[in-house]
Copies of this chain bind each other. A is one copy, B any other.
């Protein structure tokens, strides 16, 4: 029985394994047509749970804040809810989004492009909590601990991650200790009753089922910080930490799908294209679309909502389809000048792969035979 295997890359001909499938059937992405909603409806926002969803009791929940603080504090949920609350609309993406499109494929949760969602998170600003506790002069990081418990590459652990204190304590970074999602208490899979929300950072930073915050005088070197979530080319590289979300544009797949192939069918004529784009480095300044797999590009109209700087922007473009096959693509550029790549940025963990999306589309006349060997193949 192979209980806790090391990380590995799939073989060149290896399909998705039974273990990857077991992750894919329990975690889920945003069905891409749900990009139509400004805020992802309940149950459509992506979910990744490392271990099990813990059974938690909101009435008995305590958040402790300690370590290199001037005053240790602890809060029940009622005490947190009684504090001044803020709501922030945040687009959240899994750091492993795009992993299953890499070659060779890192074996883990096999996301294609859909591990994203946007929610209105309500909670207490972390900066305000840390202002209450104060920070010791030697404090450099805040370490966040959840109650989800498991083993990963041989290391038994509660899920735990850190942030630089400069990020955690900066009111402008809008880090939240959140107890509500879209106006309702957090659902179990999103961290009930309490989670961290770190706008602009990949999902691994947004610790769920949060019960402890500890300020430390040295950088945290636990599994999820120093072993996982590093950009590495070789197993022994120390690697670069995964932090902010790289820019990505996603298109609402136009037309209608085939159940099995997911190829899209559209009719000849105008086909409006639309989607969302986001970046953790700053506002998206440009979205381009291509109907010929990246040979030629045209600019989409991007609508940024200044009320929601941490949320995705909407984009629209016109396209006129003529009969035949197409591969549609969109790419985002952000204010820092980061542009989505046309070939994937490979690393051993399969993190931050913001390779452009490809949407296979066939423009068919009404009633055209869509079966293999149907009229479109001759006759």
Contact = CB atoms under 8 A, between A and B. Distances in A.
A8 to B, nearest CB: 9
A220 interface: no
B151 A259 contact: yes
A151 B25 contact: no
By DSSP majority rule, is chain A's interface helix, strand, loop, or mixed?
A: loop
A187 interface: yes
B4 A261 contact: yes
Given A15-B15, A189-B31, A189-B44, A22 B262 contact: yes
Contact of A43 (B47, B100, B114, B156): B47
Contacts of A33: 52-53, 55
A52 B26 contact: no
Given A3-B261, A360-B1, A156 B370 contact: yes
A110 interface: yes
Interface stretch (A34-42, A63-71, A287-295, A301-309): A34-42
Interface in A78-113: 100, 107-108, 110-112
Looking at chain A, what size class is its interface with the partner chain? 35 or more
A370 B37 CA distance: 44
Contact of A369 (B16, B25, B154, B263): B154
A371 B15 contact: no
| Identical chains bound together, number | 2
B261 A362 contact: no
A302 to B, nearest CB: 21
Contact of A372 (B5, B27, B253, B371): B5
A52 B371 contact: no
A372 B151 CA distance: 13
A201 to B, nearest CB: 20
A20 interface: yes
A280 B47 CA distance: 30
Interface string A96-139: 00001000000110111011000000000000000000000000
A337 interface: no
Interface in A1-27: 1-6, 14-27
Nearest to A21: B16
Q: Name the residue in A31, A36, A51, A112 with the highest tally of chain B Cβ atoms < 10 Å from its Cβ.
A: A31
A34 B47 CA distance: 14
Contacts of A5: 258, 260-261, 371-372
15 contacts: A1-B362, A4-B372, A5-B372, A6-B371, A6-B372, A16-B16, A19-B260, A21-B24, A21-B110, A25-B29, A25-B111, A26-B31, A42-B43, A151-B259, A152-B260
Interface of A: 1-6, 14-29, 31-34, 36-37, 41-45, 47, 49-53, 55, 100, 107-108, 110-112, 114-115, 149-154, 156, 187-190, 253, 256-263, 265, 325, 360, 362, 364, 369-372, 374
